[in-house]
Chain A
Amino acid sequence: MSDTSEQTAQPSAHAVLELSRIAKAFGAVVALTNGTLRLERGSIHALVGENGAGKSTLVKIISGLYQRDAGEFLLAGESVDFTSTAQAKDAGIAVIYQEPTLFPDLSVTENLFMGRQPRGALGMIDRRAMRSEALALFERLGVRIDPDRPTLGLSIADQQIIEIAKAISLDARVLIMDEPTAALSGVEVDRLFAVARGLRDEGRAILFISHRFDEVFALCDTVTVMRDGAYIATSPIGDTTVAEIVRQMVGRDVTTLFPKQEVPIGDVVLEVDGLTQPGVFTDISFVARAGEIVALAGLVGAGRSEIARAVFGVDPYASGTVKVSGKVLPKHKPATAMAAGIALVPEDRRQQGLVLESSVSRNATLAIRKQLAKFGLITSAAENQSARVWASRLEVKTASLDTEVGTLSGGNQQKVVLGKWLATDPKVLFVDEPTRGIDVGTKAEVHRLLSELAGQGLAIVMISSELPEVLGMADRVLVVHEGRITADIARADATAESVMFAATHSAEEAA
């Protein structure tokens, strides 16, 4: 993996693809303020940045899924305005997603050529020609995939190869790979890289999005860093270092936004020891004390939500123990975990936390329906009484308790979910991405709330992909990387650099 430096890009009059000052907002949420990127022919270009830096939005604008609000988008020197993915595809842009979307019932060959099959007399699809073309494509890529089998059951790696083969048969000039290696094994990564280098040598431009710096340095010749929806820097890979890139990724003022109150830390409430589920997470051990906020930091997909779900008992685990106040919890029994005092506020509150069509009071009392019931019946009065307590404590802004939860703002929905779990009087509260999709003002309120709850003696385990939030709120930061805890950093030592470094390196490297 070291043949990168001699293959630096040939300078050309026109870049294949050039974006400058692209802006994009979704309602009040600004995703991009200055998307700038320049791709050259015969180059593998890395795009790096924290979660939420705007990489995905930029990719979606290039691929025609989103339309930009402002800025310039040149393809081979000409301005383009894609209104659909089909147009971008016709213009020679192909995107290989982390998890490709193929037609599971159809054969590999049909997936490659859907909508543009070679045809013979009477418009009949020439299956023989199609099959041999598929074989030729795989030959060229140096991979072996049975062209006749359905894509159902193929590994992610093979599915990506099919996407790449499709892009080549479309003669794509620009290939965008969005975190392609996240789900691949070592051998598969090597094969993907060999394919990518081959494509580069054919003169195609490749945009490689990855959180793994070792891969970026092994494969790419140029790197562009984004932060908070804006372009930061582009440099030849030989002129930069990991430390430099990390500094560019996180370099912002993180001191004031999220203050956690200083509270006395009490006894250990939650004790997780050696939790392992093969292929998901390995040897997870940590404790959480009363009054403490422990952050599980790391990148999206590192396995943090899975750990929380396993501790809560929704998902199974193979080995290890979970103790609450010294008592061991049985595996895979959420009801017992709830009774023992664990609460979990899930990441996707719209799907997992709330019944959107139901009222505020019904949602707020969902977790305590048994306690509220008298002779198996629940009265609206009992529901409202309990809901009113939490709605006022959490300052939920709603027209009435009968309002449908789906009509509330993201921040207020989050408060209803919090209220639902706090009503169970938990000792340990897991919150997964508590402020995702919430505007800045409400964010601060959610933080204040979490801080207050810790002050009342709750142990809080917060999963967050936002560094400032982690650094501002946590007493301790546990960094998860590919299913392992790679660092345990105390509040005083936690910096953006130390957390980001641990999040992108395995334990041995980080040590």
Chain B
Amino acid sequence: MTRLGHLLKQRETGIALALILVVVFTTAKNPAFLFSTDGWRDLLLTPSILMLVAVGQAIVIITRNVDLSVGSVVGLTAYLTGRVFIDLPGVPWPLVFVIGLVAGGLLGLINGALVAFAKVPALVITLGTLYIYRGINVMWTGSDRINSSDMPREFLALGTQSLLGIPYLTIIALVVLVIAGWYLHTQRAGRELYAIGSDPAAAHLYGLKVTQRVLAAFIVCGALAGLAGVLYAARYGTVNSQAGSGWELDAVGAAVIGGVAIFGGSGTVWGAAIGAYLLLTINRALPVIGVQDFWQRAVVGVLILGAIVLDRVLAVRQSKRLTEARNR
């Protein structure tokens, strides 16, 4: 198979084409969607934070687990970021990134430890921590909220400024994506995540460090959600107790749309990232082309179902082809 042919057959390519189609179609309706300073910036900026969460989510889903608490982690770390600036005046802003990553990683560690050692499905565990983390957030925040005046200007600039026409947030998200994609593709530990998700029992027979790897996947997912929380504060400037709520479903949806199999073992973080872009870009495109507000969630649903049906069809076709190939 030629390289081009291989590329065209990739699931990620299809999603990327869909994204381009959406952008082209919407721009044809309203050129400002792409060809205006704000339009271009929003196109890149809006999905960047979700992309980080979706990358973390994809890593967990690949191991045949799921992390439903990521939205709550985003909320908690976003509020934490504001609190740090208020309670420690003059704190150098790069430090809040470290704090966000560590805090998110710890929350992820709690998820991972419960899943790995309590042997309870991740769906149940993280559904529990979704409410617990959010509950802690509400208790801590109360009716309080962080305002942009509480945070240093350089930090807020990160959330809105650009470098050579590309927002800093997007650059950060892309760097994370490249590192994650590279790691999963080229490192032994990365490949083992796929093996574990493909057949956990076989992974044990192979002597792979299943517990350790699953734990690491949850920690990374939590840390990325923590990073997303910090960037959320920088981007929006105001943080209340509901920041990031509902993001867990967007993140899972992005991964599934991007071709990450919900039962693990296949898919890439690239796909999840493009899925995140498609999801949020469609959300922004629909009002532009005149689709009413309440239809927008339904479109997302159709997208997810469509992606799953497509995966099923492709899987059936592939398994047929592979069975035939063996009889050659």
Chain A residues at the B interface, C-beta cutoff of 8 Å = 84-86, 89, 101-106, 110, 114-117, 119, 122-125, 146, 149-150, 152-155, 158
Contact = CB atoms under 8 A, between A and B. Distances in A.
Contacts of B188: 115-117, 119, 123, 125
Given A122-B186, A153-B319, 12 more contacts: A84-B207, A86-B207, A102-B199, A103-B265, A105-B198, A106-B265, A114-B191, A115-B188, A116-B188, A117-B188, A149-B325, A150-B318
A122 to B, nearest CB: 8
B19 interface: no
Contacts of A123: 186-188
Going nearest first, the 3 A-B pairs with the smallest beta carbon separation are A86-B207, A153-B322, A105-B265
B322 A106 contact: no
B319 A152 contact: yes
A327 B134 CA distance: 65
Q: Is the interface of B mostly helix, strand, loop or mixed?
A: helix
A114 B192 CA distance: 7
A149 B187 contact: no
A86 B192 CA distance: 15
Contact of A105 (B186, B194, B201, B326): B194
A106 B323 CA distance: 15
Contacts of B199: 101-104
A86 B205 CA distance: 8
A149 B325 CA distance: 9
A110 B326 contact: no
Nearest to A158: B326
Contacts of A152: 318-319, 322
A117 B191 contact: yes
Given A110-B191, A115-B208, A125 B198 contact: no
9 contacts: A85-B207, A101-B205, A103-B194, A110-B195, A115-B206, A119-B188, A123-B186, A123-B188, A125-B187
A102 B194 contact: no
Interface residues of B, number: 27
Interface of B: 186-188, 191-192, 194-195, 197-199, 201-208, 261, 265-266, 318-319, 322-323, 325-326
B187 to A, nearest CB: 6
A153 B187 CA distance: 26
A56 to B, nearest CB: 15
A85 B198 contact: no
Contacts of A119: 188
Contact of A89 (B191, B198, B201, B207): B207
Contacts of B322: 149-150, 152-154
Contacts of A110: 191, 195
A102 B261 CA distance: 18
A104 B265 contact: yes
Contacts of B205: 85, 101
B309 to A, nearest CB: 19
A86 B265 CA distance: 22
A361 to B, nearest CB: 30
Given A114-B208, A153-B326, A125 B202 contact: no
Contact of B202 (A101, A153, A155): A101
B5 to A, nearest CB: 14
A156 to B, nearest CB: 11
Nearest to A153: B322
A248 B191 CA distance: 49
Given A114-B192, A123-B188, A105 B266 contact: yes
Nearest to A154: B326
A154 B322 CA distance: 7
B313 to A, nearest CB: 16
Contact of B323 (A86, A116, A153): A153
Nearest to A100: B202
Contacts of B319: 152-153
A114 B207 CA distance: 10
Indicate the member of B195, B203, B204 with the most A CB atoms within 10 Å: B195
A106 B325 contact: no
B194 A115 contact: no
Contacts of B198: 103-106
Contacts of A114: 191-192, 195, 206, 208
